[in-house]
Amino acid sequence: MTESEFNRLADAALAQIESAVDNCDGDIECNRSGNVLEIEFGNGQKIIINRHDVNREIWVAAKSGGFHYAWQDSLWHSRRDGSELFGKLAELFAGQGEKIGLP
């Protein structure tokens, strides 16, 4: 994958996540600064999602741990546990009592 392809795919994923959070009915704040999304829940818990250009991955940091996702077979997959990015985010949001509308 070229750098420009990675940037296009990662930016589209970040935009999709940001839009889904903005459309959530819950007590959630989402702030984007360049390649970093910071999502804060009403209880103060945070999820940080960023584009990691060097490894061409999307990184997710949450209280439950850190997760790295690479583009594979038209989806963002974890090389560690095989999870899919949007599925993992849905799981993390559910752990906060929130539901997010991601594919």
* Predicted local confidence at residue 62, as pLDDT: 94
Give the pLDDT mean for 61-85. Answer: 94
Q: What is the pTM of this model?
A: 0.91
User: 83 pLDDT exceeds 80?
Assistant: yes
* Predicted local confidence at residue 27, as pLDDT: 86
**Class level of CATH domain 3-93:** alpha beta
CA distance 40 to 96: 10
Question: What values do phi and psi take at 55, rounded to 5?
Answer: -90, -5
Each residue of 20-69: pLDDT tens digit? 998 887 789 999 999 999 999 989 999 999 999 999 999 999 998 999 99
* Predicted local confidence at residue 49, as pLDDT: 98
Nearest residue to 47 (alpha-carbon basis) of 24, 17, 11: 17
Q: Say which amino acid occupies 72.
A: Q
Distances (CA, A) of 74 to 12, 50, 60: 13, 19, 19
Domain boundaries of the chain, sorted by first residue: 3-93
